[in-house]
Structure 1
Amino acid sequence: MRVCFILNPTSGTNRTQDVPAELAQHAAAAGADFAIWPTERAGHAEELARQAAEAGFRVVVAVGGDGTVNEVGRGLLGTAAALGIVARGSGNGLARHLRLPLSLPAAVRRVCQPTFQRIDAGRINGRPFFCTAGLGFDAHVSKLFAQAGTRGLSTYVKVALREYRYFRPTPVRITLNGQPVFDTHCYVLAFANAAQYGNNAYIAPRADIQDGLLDVCLIDRLPLLRAVRVGVGLALGTLTTSGGAVYHTSRHIRVQTQQALGFHVDGDYVAEATEFEVELDHLALEVAV
């Protein structure tokens, strides 16, 4: 088994851990023919993943958080290599959905002796995502979270609570699968390929990553009592029955907004736009599980 580990050196909170040495130790113990390639800048993991696939590595492993997983996955679309994950982020949404080990030794053993399956991949305005994408409040928080200087769930919650007082819903027009449009408001509009954002926050508990459909979660407004229901639903995986959100399934979604809204892919803020095209590529990515 030829395995390439693409390591984001800035991921994780334990700066004393010698991650390359541990990767090498456990990969060697698993009998893998392996290489370790560190990233040097944002977007570099996508380039390295594509190079690793071209070099014939069977498994290309994202060693980092959801952003690194997204970059490596993007680089592997359309190749013969499979995505592996050694989770070292604050959320680890895709790793958790796929029920991959979160400890480094167990995760390395898994990617060096894997079974394989294929999963769907979403796109929003041409940007691939594998876990979730969305517009509205979650994108707004992801933008500020990236600027916060510290990572982790506690920082995310602090930013979300602070911004909740100021964020207002935006009028939007939505088309699902080419059906007649409907007008509504958007506080959160999430497109879920997997069930959770990360940290076991279940935005779409019924999402199936292989069914060829995105679960679309719409929260039009978020007054205080509904916010409490949504928070509890995210934590317990009961949001679909909480009355806090409306769900649809679709393979193709178009959204038009009256004012520019920010959007994120797999938790990383991208940009603002007034038109969004969201689609699903069925079973587009092979993963090592």
Structure 2
Amino acid sequence: MPEQTRIRFIVNPKSGTKSGLDIASHIKLHLDHQKHRHDIVYTDYAGHAPELAKQAAAAGCHIVVAVGGDGTVNEVARGLLNTEAALAILPKGSGNGLARHLKIPMGIRGALRVINQAKTSTIDSGSINGHPFFTTAGIGFDAYISSVFAGNKKRGLKTYVELVLKEVLNYKHLPVTATINGNTLVTNCYVMAFANAAQYGNNAYIAPMADIRDGLLDVCLVRELDFLKAIHLSYCMLTRQIANADSAEYFKTDGVLVETDHQIMYHADGDFIGKASRFKVEMFPKSLKVISPA
């Protein structure tokens, strides 16, 4: 890092559970101004953050900080892919999946301490049908829940679990054909999750063994699910025991192709994207620089 690091904070003023926080005051108090100089910009609309992140990288910023929830982090990270600028995170959302995986403190002051240290490493990213993701993507039930959750005014883990248990009986598995490691798998699919990181957010672990720096996806396949299995699976996710659950199967791979005769919902980093009948999931090793604890 240079003698004085250039940092740009990209703030989503509407994000998550801490929208009332005075971010500028926290930065003034807790950023090490001898080591770093900074500026702050604010997003005006959905999809604005990638533009701001690209501009920051092009302007020579060394660190670009996403101040917001998982959607904001995804947008800023997208703008920084394959650049020299490093992503940092001030968690301000309800899930904070990437921040939790990178062990970034959930409090603003603790997260700023990590930024002050400016320890850089490189992580992998993935894409599903061209949409970048950094923690998880998926098709089926988890994407359906993402679409429902997006329209819910209440946030947080409790709301998410309540939605899962409420909607589990309304969603039916569908047949798919998946090509994984050169092998063709014809199977039912209730949910297929593609994990670059270990968790969705809120410490709900879909792939506890996932390594964000190994160049591989951890694919979690749940073929069928009923109410009792959903309760057990939810418990296993919250206790990091999902890999031992009877309902879940795992595969490690650098890419997946899924095809179906039906339109299936899909998401990237918890943001509902839409529906498709063909899914190409790819990995891009060491494509994003990040700031995380030493």
TM value normalised by structure 1: 0.96
Of the candidates 69, 72, 77, which is equivalent to residue 73 of structure 1?
A: 77
Question: What is the alpha-carbon distance in structure 2 between the residues aligned to residue 155 and residue 29 of structure 1?
Answer: 39
Contact 1:174 1:181 in 2 (8 A): yes
Find the counterpart in structure 2 of residue 128 from structure 1: 132
Label 1:164 to 1:30 Cα distance change in 2 as closer, same or farther (>3 A). farther
| Residue type of the alignment partner of 1:182 | L
Find the counterpart in structure 1 of residue 228 from structure 2: 225
Distance apart, 1:225 and its partner CA: 3.2
Question: What is the alpha-carbon distance in structure 2 between the residues aligned to residue 213 and residue 16 of structure 1?
Answer: 38
Question: What is the alpha-carbon distance in structure 1 between the residues aligned to residue 16 and residue 127 of structure 2?
Answer: 27
Distance apart, 1:118 and its partner CA: 0.5
Find the counterpart in structure 1 of residue 163 from structure 2: 159
Find the counterpart in structure 1 of residue 92 from structure 2: 88
Contact 1:30 1:112 in 2 (8 A): no
Structure 2 residue 241 is the aligned partner of structure 1 residue 211: no
Aligned residues: 288
Find the counterpart in structure 1 of residue 263 from structure 2: 260
Label 1:242 to 1:144 Cα distance change in 2 as closer, same or farther (>3 A). same
Question: What is the alpha-carbon distance in structure 2 between the residues aligned to residue 133 and residue 66 of structure 1?
Answer: 12
Question: What is the alpha-carbon distance in structure 1 between the residues aligned to residue 139 and residue 222 of structure 2?
Answer: 11
Distance apart, 1:12 and its partner CA: 2.9
RMSD, matched Cα: 1.3
- What's the CA shift string for 1:203-244, capped at 9, x where partnerless? 001001111110000000012332232112101101111212
Question: What is the alpha-carbon distance in structure 2 between the residues aligned to residue 174 and residue 14 of structure 1?
Answer: 40
Find the counterpart in structure 2 of residue 144 from structure 1: 148
Structure 2 residue 45 is the aligned partner of structure 1 residue 37: no
Find the counterpart in structure 2 of residue 202 from structure 1: 205
Q: 1:104-123 alignment to 2 at 5 Å?
A: 104-123=108-127
- What's the CA shift string for 1:253-274, capped at 9, x where partnerless? 0000121011111011011000
SS in structure 1 at match of 2:277: strand
Find the counterpart in structure 2 of residue 244 from structure 1: 247
Question: What is the alpha-carbon distance in structure 2 between the residues aligned to residue 16 and residue 124 of structure 1?
Answer: 34
Of the candidates 5, 9, 15, which is equivalent to residue 9 of structure 2?
A: 5
- What's the CA shift string for 1:8-45, capped at 9, x where partnerless? 10113244422222223322556420011111100111
Return 20-29 or 139-148, whichever deviates more.
Answer: 20-29
- What's the CA shift string for 1:165-208, capped at 9, x where partnerless? 2100011000013x131110111100000000001101001001
Question: What is the alpha-carbon distance in structure 2 between the residues aligned to residue 76 and residue 42 of structure 1?
Answer: 17
Question: What is the alpha-carbon distance in structure 2 between the residues aligned to residue 15 and residue 277 of structure 1?
Answer: 35
Distance apart, 1:152 and its partner CA: 1.8
Question: What is the alpha-carbon distance in structure 1 between the residues aligned to residue 89 and residue 119 of structure 2?
Answer: 13
| Residue type of the alignment partner of 2:72 | T
SS in structure 2 at match of 1:181: strand
Return 144-153 or 260-269, whichever deviates more.
Answer: 144-153
Return 134-143 or 153-162, whichever deviates more.
Answer: 153-162
Contact 1:3 1:112 in 2 (8 A): no
SS in structure 2 at match of 1:157: helix
TM value normalised by structure 2: 0.95
Percentage of matched positions with identical amino acids: 48
